[in-house]
Amino acid sequence: MPHFIIEYTDNIKAEADIPALLKKINQSLISHDGVFPTGGIRSRAIELHDYCVADGTEDDAFVHAVLKIGAGRSEADKKAACDELFEMIKEHFAELFEKRYLALSMELIEFSEAGTYKHNNIHARYKKTTSER
């Protein structure tokens, strides 16, 4: 696991290229040398149709991202991953940010393994690939 969830307002869909951002997010998480198991990485986006930004009088937009991870990573690893991800988000939306009112935000949610349930055979594929190298 980590799960990366992006919520974005539908008024930026045409320019946001969300699929490219999700791919970049996964590659970033993979690049952290085993901090996040590749087989557990999930990223997804939720396009919002019902929302109100600020006082609701303008066509404002927002993107809010959440990185959900299980406990056990060092503060340095968490900071490095989050700093990299948020910079990536800012870069991805830089052109759009210059053209319109846009709020970008991200949060980290870390939870204990107690109370989480997982059944995943994707990990085995990456363990097999690693041991064959």
How far is 23 from 31, CA to CA, in rounded Å? Answer: 12
How far is 38 from 66, CA to CA, in rounded Å? Answer: 18
Catalytic residue among 1, 2, 35, 48: 2
Give CA angle at 105 (13, 74), nearest 5°: 125
Distance (Å) of CA 15 to CA 9, 93, 94, 99, 104: 11, 9, 11, 11, 15
> Is 2 noted as a catalytic residue in this protein?
yes
Nearest residue to 92 (alpha-carbon basis) of 38, 25, 3, 47: 25
The one-letter amino acid code at 22 reads L
Catalytic residue positions, numbered = 2
